[in-house]
A and B are shown apart, each in its own frame.
Chain A
Amino acid sequence: MAKRYGFYVDQENCIGCFTCQIACKDKNDLPDGVLWRKVYEFSGGTTIEENGVFKSNVFAYWLSMACNHCEDAKCVTGCPTGAMHYGADGTVQHNPDLCIGCQYCRMNCPYDAPKFMEDKGIIGKCDACIDLRETGKNPACVDACIMRVLEFGPIDELRAKHGELADIKGLPDSNITKPSLVINPHKAAIK
């Protein structure tokens, strides 16, 4: 069986600098408002007084998220034209020539990865920088990360190295699409 590829996200050490988001946008020349990799901010908690002592449980953390190149990608099974398909390396790829811009993949992806490109009338999404990888390089987001919290590689190797967790607060149940994703969670994001 061919190796499946995916991302590792070290959320605990992500500082929310958005460099990955910008590197992706720049590399793919994306128009205003379209992000194939997006950094989400989560914050909450409160400060309370207990017996004259102020206690705080406020938190803030980030999650860098793109297409997770799922093993059971609902965007692929739902696509009526075959535009969404699995590439030779198991990543989810998109054929713009077959796309009719119905946006059904947007209704099917629980990670909100496919984006509608209004200027072209079709969907666009992270292809894990397949062109860069063919020349032996990493995806743009991985190499741009100043904290080195993103990795891309065979998902089995990433799981062996970092564990198998893909379920954290704010993400859907990983059993739905089996994402090729491993996360080192921020303590406030642990389910």
Chain B
Amino acid sequence: MEHMSLTLFSICLQAAIGIMVFVSIGKLINKDGIFKNAMFVAAGLGIIGLLSSVLHLGRPFKAFFALNQFASSWLSREIWFSSLFVGLTVLAVLILMQRPQNRTAIKGVSLLSAVVGLVAIAVMSSVFTSSSVPFWHGTVTFVEFYAAAISMGAILFLFLSISEAGSLKKLVAAAVAAAVIIQVLVVVPNLISLANDSNEAIIGSLAILNGMATAGILKWLCILIGAVLVVWSAKDEISPAVTNTVMVSALLLFVGQLVGRYMFYAAMVVGSGLS
């Protein structure tokens, strides 16, 4: 499970960012919405994500050195933006706990956190598209990362705040469906086109993915079934059955994106394939 800490870092952080995006949208649409559970889970996922990123380091106690090279290093920028996002999300939760009546501040900090989070996803994607791993190059990485954030964030937001967010379930279902459709339309043709690539590193990456075919099937089954379930339940009024369906959908989408992200890291073959 060599890649698990990086997988947890990016999946937890992207899920947290997605939740804060929908918390912000929810607060704009439903002015009485607090979405306390969603905000707490977003802060928790963000903290778990940051801790995971530190634990994969050979020298975790020197992790703050990674802030040194913002001007040149995408990885340094990623740490800056990820930390800023988690800091803002925790701040929004602290204001919610200490000054719940100050809704303007909560809404403002939540919105700022969501915007910083969306920038953080672009920076995270650039960490990989600028590397020497050809399999990670191109817009497909951006699509995978944003689709994961939107699909997981939307469904977790709905599940965690279903009593307040029930009126937003059609919006959530549309967001999940759009994210998953775009993910399928970009990722699958990309994999098919890579199959004809003569680059030795690409061939090496595809050989690794072929060895993980079962995981690949699990990824797409979880994501597609999760998306279908949330779309299917969007037409019904909130009920225990709908809540259970949303919970299963959230679980499936999270597991599907998690498995997919593990495969993304596992497929790392640098440059020409020398190793």
Contact = CB atoms under 8 A, between A and B. Distances in A.
Interface residues of B, number: 32
21 contacts: A40-B274, A74-B131, A74-B132, A79-B69, A79-B73, A79-B75, A80-B67, A80-B69, A81-B66, A100-B57, A100-B60, A107-B128, A107-B131, A110-B132, A110-B272, A116-B58, A121-B58, A122-B58, A172-B132, A172-B271, A176-B271
Contact of A170 (B62, B72, B133, B272): B272
A110 B66 CA distance: 22
Nearest to A101: B58
Interface of B: 56-60, 62-63, 65-69, 72-76, 79, 127-128, 130-133, 200, 268, 270-275
Interface string A140-172: 000000000000000000000000000000111
Interface size class of A (residues with CB under 8 A): 20 to 34
Contacts of A130: none
A81 B58 contact: no
B68 A82 contact: yes
Given A78-B75, A78-B130, A80-B79, A107 B270 contact: yes
A171 B199 CA distance: 10
A19 B101 CA distance: 73
A172 B66 CA distance: 28
A28 interface: no
A108 B75 CA distance: 11
A103 B66 CA distance: 12
A108 B136 CA distance: 12
A111 interface: yes
A100 B65 CA distance: 7
Contacts of A171: 272, 274
B132 A80 contact: no
Interface of A: 40, 65, 74, 77-83, 98-104, 106-112, 116, 118, 120-122, 170-172, 176
A101 B272 contact: no
B274 A77 contact: no
Contacts of B74: 78
A180 B270 CA distance: 19
Given A98-B68, A100-B60, A116-B58, 12 more contacts: A80-B68, A81-B68, A81-B76, A82-B65, A82-B69, A100-B58, A100-B59, A107-B268, A107-B270, A110-B132, A111-B271, A120-B58
Contacts of A77: 72-73
A100 B270 CA distance: 21
Contacts of B275: 112
A85 to B, nearest CB: 10
Nearest to A38: B274
Contacts of B57: 100-102, 121
B132 A102 contact: no
B75 A80 contact: yes
Given A102-B75, A106-B270, A109-B271, A176 B132 contact: yes
Contacts of A81: 62, 65-66, 68-69, 76
A8 B72 CA distance: 30
A102 B133 contact: no
A118 B270 CA distance: 20
Contact of B274 (A99, A120, A170, A176): A170
